[in-house]
Each structure stands twice: as C-alpha cells, then as structure tokens.
Structure 1
Amino acid sequence: MITSADTSEPAAEPEFPPRRVAGRARGWYRGDLHVHTRRSHGGELTPEQVAAAARAAGLDFIAITEHNTADTHGAWGSLAGDDLLVVLGQEVVTTTGHWLAVGIDPGQVVDWRYGVRDDLIDRAVDGVHETGGLCVAAHPHAPYPSGVLMYPFRRFDAVEVWNGLWRSDLPWNADNEAALAEWGRGLAAGIHRGRWRPAVGNSDAHQAGQLGTPQTVVLADGLGTDALLAGIRAGRCWIAESAEVQVSFTVRAGDRRAGVGERLTAGEAPCVARVEVTGVPEGVVGFHTDRGRVHREPLPGDGTGIVRWRTSREESAFVRVEVRHPSGRMAALTNPVILS
C-alpha cells in the first residue's frame, strides 16, 4: 500500500470526472472495468500514467477500482476527456472473495469487512444498486488467499470470466478457463429462469503494459456511465484480448435478426449464426449452446473471415461464440444471443 503524501503540502481540491461524454451516439465502446493506480496494493501507476495507457490501448472508458477506498476518485476530472470516460468504482476486497462496484457516487466507499459466513454481501450489493451502480464478481478462481470467490454468482450483475491477473505476457490462463466454464455451466439455467449474468473481461491492471488486456466491448446508447452500465446489464457486450481483435456476431431467422445479448424470436424458421472476425491469425471460431461446444471452424491464415453455422430454436436455447488462437488461448468471446 502506498504511504500517505507529505502532510506539509495542501491537499488538492477533488475534481471528479463527468459521468457522460457529450455528443457520443449509440455505438460499440471499448473499455476496462478493473483498473488500479499505486493507491492499491501492488499498484505502480499514477493516475496520469493510467490515463495515458488507456488512450494508448485504444480504450473509450475505464473504471477506477482501488482496493477498498475512494481516495483517488477526485484525481480524474482533468484526466478524463472527450476521448476517455472515467467511471468511478471500487474493488471490494472481502475475506472470501473480491467484487467490483462500478459506477458508484464520488467518494462512496462500499463496505468490505465481512466474509461469506456473515451474510452481509446482499446489504453491500443493495447499497451499490441504490446509487445506480453495477456489481461484478471478480476473478472467481484467482489463486491466492481471499481471491477465490465464495459468493454465488447470483449475488452479482455480471461475472468477470477473463481477468488479466497482473500478467500482460499471459492474458489467458487456467484460472480464466475455470471461471469461463463455471459461468458457462450456469448460463442455460439462468436463461431458462429469465435471469442470467453477462460475462465481462478486464485487465486488473496494476503495472505498466497491462491495461486493456483484455477489454470489454459494450453496445451503449452513448459514452456515459449510465448507458454503459445498461449495456452490460443487458449482456450487449463481448470480450477482446486487445483493440486489434474485432468480432461481429448476429443470428438471423427469416427477416429477423438479433445481436449479442438480444433475444431472437425464431419460431419454426432455421437460425443462421454469423460471425465476422479480424485480428486473429489462424484462429478458430467455436459455437457454444446449452449442449456445450457444438461446432468449430478455422479462420483464414490472416485472421480475417466470416463463419456461419445453422441451428434452430428447438436445437439451441442460445448461441455464443469463442474465438481462440491455434494454441487454444482465448482471443475473444461473446455473450449469448437467446433463441425463443
């Protein structure tokens, strides 16, 4: 943890970032919902360095999620801009797992002093929801004390299935594979019951070279905190290993079409899933449904191509997509298109 600043210097007046960038229309926005400065344990970057790294990574937004503090909320007003939205948040580090409170009020601190046996998680989550914030289960299988999430996913709005875990050299590992599998196993039941949790991916950046690996790409009605959180809640988002990876995924039934996070009323018509990918040389596209992985097909050598797969409402409750490198390492994954 960073020590306090010299108390002989006057404290700077807090300058909080705006919640919305004016003039930005509906579109896909790239961001990182799990970012630290040197105010967090293990962090090495100043706010200025984080803002510069976010812009260099091609991000439109970041969420500042220091460990159990809002101390840096007032440092971001001058660092945000027309090209970068800064969302205020916190990584809530409890004794039995971590979670992200994203989109909270300036200076708001979410209680972290409990474990799964204390039955206090609901009260903390409700407090975030009362301010319009989003609650994300963080790195569920992180391999260190308190890092493994012991709270059930149903307590949260979204699940971080892909976490950089401080490793820019290995952006996908066994811990992420386990988190994705756990989330994927519960997806069909959640959709059937009308309440599923979207997947997100973040860097958990603490050091240089980590930010934006991976990143969450959100379809939002504008570049603003409320619009982005609404897009994530609805599942209108997918995860990319970097800004170099582009994925477009839709499912069509007759003259009807739906995208990521949307519901397609297919009726008896055949459904055609279409994926367009760039930036994954010799990659492999895999289609997943409630029956697991049902089809895979390679991309061309340059990593740019279109893959189609046919199914039906009777065969598949949903379709989601994974794009992997030849080694099996993840390059991108989407939330589902739901068939009804």
Structure 2
Amino acid sequence: MKKPGSIWLLLLCLFLLDSARGQVIILKGKVERKDLHTYIERSFSLPDSVKRISVVFSYNGKDQRTTIDIGLMDPVRFRGWSGGARNSFTISAEDATPGYLPGALPAGKWTLLLGVPNIREGVVSEYEARITIETRPVITEFSSMPIRAAEGWYRGDLHMHTGNSDGKCASQLGNQVGCPVFRIVETATAGGLDFISVTDHNTVVQAEALRELQPAFDKILLVPGREITTFYGHANVFGPADFIDFRMDAPTHAAAKGWMNAVNNSGGLLSINHPGLPSGEECMGCGWQIENIPDGVVAAVEVVNGSTMKYSIEGPVQGWVFWHKMLNSGQHVTAIGGSDDHRSEAIGKPTTVVYMKELSVQGLIDGIRSGRVFIDLEGNRDRFLDLSVTGKEVYMGGTVKIGRTDTVGLTPYVKGLSGGRIEFIIDGRPDAALTRELRSDDEKIPVKWVPGGGRHSVYVKARDKDGKLVLVGNPVYLE
C-alpha cells in the first residue's frame, strides 16, 4: 500500500535542469524504520514528445543493510520493476533495460515506486533519484561506460542483418529461420571483433535485444544501427535508436532531407550503402540514385560490400566510383566496409578498422568522422595500414595546407604484407610512379610527391604478393 505523505520526513528537492541530453528531475527523500515493508510513490510529470527517460537511483546506509527497491509506473500502466538488482534503467519507445517495458512515453503523471524490504531501527537512509528526460533524438549507448576506455585501433563490422528483417540462420533441425540477434553477437565475438552494428532494414526492434545483450557481451561494443531502405537508395544510420521516418517519393535530396536531417540532428552518422549496385527487381533501390546532397550530410560511404565481393572487389558494383566522385567534389567522406551478412556466416569480412578515443558509440562515430580508418577486406588481424604526412601530426582524414611548389612527404605504415606492394591513389587515380614494394611485415615507406598546387585527396591501397587487394586506407587531404 502507499505510505501517506503526511507521515514522511522528506528532504525534497524537485527541480528541472538543462543538460546535454535533456532535462533532469531530481527527487530526494529519506526512509527510516517506520517505513519498513511499505511502498513509497514519488511522482513526476513528463511533457509531450519525450523520446527517452533514464533513472539513476542511489541511497546511503547500505553498510547498515538498508535496502530500497525501485520500479516505475506511467499514467496508464506498470512499466517495470528491478527491485534492488539495478541502480539505473532507461526506457524509450524502442528499447528498455531488462525488467522494463519499452513503448510510448505518454505525457502526464509518472510514478517512481520505492519499496523498503529492510531498514534497521535507528537508521535513516537518504536517497536520490536522478531522472533524465530526453525530448529530442540523441545517440544511444547500451553501456553506461565505454567498453574500453583506451585510445587505439578497433576492428568491427558495420553492416549485418538478423531475423528482425531478412537475416537467416539454421535452426536445430537445420531449417532456415529468422536469425536471433544473440546468434549474430556470438558469431562476431567468436571472430574477435571489437564492435558491430546490427542494421536491419528500417526497423529498430533489434535495439531492445542489443540492450539486453550488452552487459553479457562486455568485450564487444554493440552499436545501434539500421539500414534506411528506400526506393532510391540504402544508407546505414549509426547512433540513434528511435524511429526515423524513411519514406520518400522521389530521388532528390528534398525528398530525403527529412530522414537525413533527423540522423545528423541526433548526433548520429549517415553512411551510403553499396552505391554501385544496380536497382531493380533483384534488389529494390540498392543502387544510390539520390543526387545533389549538400556537403557534410553524408559522413561515410560503404566502398566495399561483403555480399558482392564474390563478384568483384574493385569493379563497378562496389562503391569506388561513387566515393571518388565525392572526394573529387571536395567532400571529406570516410570509406568504410560492411559484410552485409544475412546468414551469420561472413561477419567481419570485410572488417572496418577505426582509430577511436574510446570504444563506445560516441567513440566510433567520432572515429569514423575523423577519417582515420582503413578497410581490411579479409579480416586478418595481423594486417595494418596507416598513412601520415611526414614530419606533421596529420594522419588519414586530416588536412594539410600546401604551396604550389611544395614537396609533400607521405609515409604509409603497413604490417603483415611482406612481398606485396602499396599503391597511391591520387584524386581517384593510381599514380604508378609512387608504387612501392613491401620487403618486410612491418614497414614504413616514406615517399615524396609534388602536387603542383590545387586540392587533392591521397590514399593508399595495399596488395598481397599475388596482387590481390587486401587493405584500403582513407585519404590525407591537401589544400
């Protein structure tokens, strides 16, 4: 039953704060022995159009065995109970902490439920509930802390599908069934990946499963994603987990800017998928047809798509032509890869390798935007590629100013490809004069080049001893 408010000794502080993610409501109070085996209802109000609420609950007196359980009700129904098992939870329309129901967040009176299963005589325990209210889409982290706080190179796959769209895998009897999310995560973990994004078509139902799985798979970052699938092109979205209206009726930026702006306004990242594929009955809208997109809207391009590598790695079905066109127009767009796995069989082929400040969703987005990224087509952890401007702290994705007569020093760093070679791709074309042989498995090869002024993009491809393309870097930009 509810404890009458008149017999409570509350230290009440209820106020709204501006924060980076929205508003914060703080509820404070205290419990003592007479509150034992009672339930306390603490109410707060939600405005219209709330996207997510997150609660962090803390209290003192645990060393004296005080226990306070927590749960939540919305204006209509019970939304969940975690008892004393958790000190925080989150709820949105698409996902929720285990023990809580996702779904619409109606405006009105919500109630934080507090149960007091134990408190000793003479003990007074103070509690605080910090409730964050998000009223606009933001990127979603399924872990409250980075999976790894260390700066460095992290390997992952940015394109795959589960049974929430058209991903299949074998059942116990060998039948092809919709593949559950946990099977995908297990496969990626067994492959030694550091991160994956599950990108089912237009839906974000997979976010609920990923939130549940992330605590158990605490060595791999699970990234909210989806493949925006339209009649005129496909694009991956990384970061936000809430619904984005993908509907459009013409192959124009005017028709697409609603969903494109929603991604960027949330802090998420937009990447064009397999732009070189044809569109038609075999693959609805697979090739990219949307033109005249302003600079800065698209952050990345899937230059290598794993599902089409069996046909060609460097041919027109991949994204090379489209990416080079964007680079030559002056845009700084990061090349990435994705397996586009639909069978839980080829995850990590290709692998996208990103230099991040930390292994988190924000770290991944920032890392891709920075451009210090390379694609490992075969997913070989012994291979590595980087490119720097000699004598400067400028790496892939960075920009260096040049004079018309300046000589630029470029230093590729390659591992695991003794007997292979590197090629420099300048403004989308290979420069044969800069090709270099690789004589060891750990090699830095400085070269000098005179650009002759103007604006240029320079990146490196690395081939094995048989001439097969195995690593692709991102550009250094010269202006």
Say whether the fold is shared (TM-score over 0.5).
yes
Conserved in 2, the CA contact under 8 Å of 1:216 and 1:240?
A: yes
Instruction: Give the Cα–Cα distance (whole angstroms) in 1 for the partners of residues 185 and 204 of structure 2.
Output: 17
| Aligned with 2:358 (options 180, 203, 222) | 222
Conserved in 1, the CA contact under 8 Å of 2:147 and 2:220?
A: no
2:189 alignment partner in structure 1:
55
Check 1:71–1:78 CA distance in 2 against 1; reply closer, same or farther (3 A cut).
closer
Tell me which amino acid in the other structure corresponds to 1:156.
V
Aligned to 2:393, the other structure's residue is in SS state strand
| Aligned with 1:247 (options 382, 385, 389) | 385
1:277 alignment partner in structure 2:
414
- Larger RCO, structures 1/2 (Cα 8 Å, 6+ apart): 1
How many corresponding residue pairs? 318
Check 1:54–1:270 CA distance in 2 against 1; reply closer, same or farther (3 A cut).
same
CA drift of 1:129 comes to: 1.5
Check 1:281–1:111 CA distance in 2 against 1; reply closer, same or farther (3 A cut).
farther
2:298 alignment partner in structure 1:
156
2:276 alignment partner in structure 1:
141
Conserved in 1, the CA contact under 8 Å of 2:417 and 2:465?
A: no
| Aligned with 1:172 (options 296, 313, 328) | 313
CA drift of 1:251 comes to: 1.6
2:424 alignment partner in structure 1:
287
Conserved in 1, the CA contact under 8 Å of 2:356 and 2:363?
A: yes
| Aligned with 2:322 (options 175, 182, 199) | 182
Aligned to 1:99, the other structure's residue is in SS state strand
Instruction: Give the Cα–Cα distance (whole angstroms) in 1 for the partners of residues 317 and 411 of structure 2.
Output: 26
Conserved in 1, the CA contact under 8 Å of 2:240 and 2:266?
A: yes
Matched, 1:30 2:171: no
1:34-183 matches, within 5 Å, as 34-44=159-169, 45-80=179-214, 81-105=217-241, 108-117=242-251, 119-143=254-278, 144-152=283-291, 154=294, 155-165=297-307, 172=313, 174-177=315-318, 179-183=319-323
Normalized against structure 1, the TM-score is what?
A: 0.83
Check 1:117–1:248 CA distance in 2 against 1; reply closer, same or farther (3 A cut).
closer
1:307 alignment partner in structure 2:
445
Aligned to 1:285, the other structure's residue is in SS state strand
CA drift of 1:176 comes to: 4.9
Conserved in 2, the CA contact under 8 Å of 1:162 and 1:214?
A: yes
The alignment-based identity, stated in percent, is 28
Aligned to 2:234, the other structure's residue is in SS state strand
1:242-270 deviations in Å (ceiling 9; x for gaps): 14321122121xx4231111123455653
Q: Aligned-residue CA RMSD in angstroms?
A: 2.7
Instruction: Give the Cα–Cα distance (whole angstroms) in 2 for the partners of residues 133 and 259 of structure 1.
Output: 23
CA drift of 1:174 comes to: 2.5
Tell me which amino acid in the other structure corresponds to 1:126.
N
* Structure exhibiting the larger radius of gyration computed from Cα positions: 2
Aligned to 1:59, the other structure's residue is in SS state coil
Give unpaired runs (5+ residues) of structure 2. Answer: 1-94, 99-140, 170-178
Check 1:208–1:26 CA distance in 2 against 1; reply closer, same or farther (3 A cut).
same
Instruction: Give the Cα–Cα distance (whole angstroms) in 1 for the partners of residues 335 and 210 of structure 2.
Output: 27
CA drift of 1:162 comes to: 0.9
Matched, 1:21 2:163: no
Tell me which amino acid in the other structure corresponds to 1:98.
H
Check 1:166–1:70 CA distance in 2 against 1; reply closer, same or farther (3 A cut).
farther
Conserved in 2, the CA contact under 8 Å of 1:166 and 1:205?
A: no
Normalized against structure 2, the TM-score is what?
A: 0.61
Check 1:176–1:166 CA distance in 2 against 1; reply closer, same or farther (3 A cut).
closer
Conserved in 1, the CA contact under 8 Å of 2:251 and 2:290?
A: no
Conserved in 2, the CA contact under 8 Å of 1:269 and 1:312?
A: yes
Give unpaired runs (5+ residues) of structure 1. Answer: 1-11
Matched, 1:334 2:473: yes
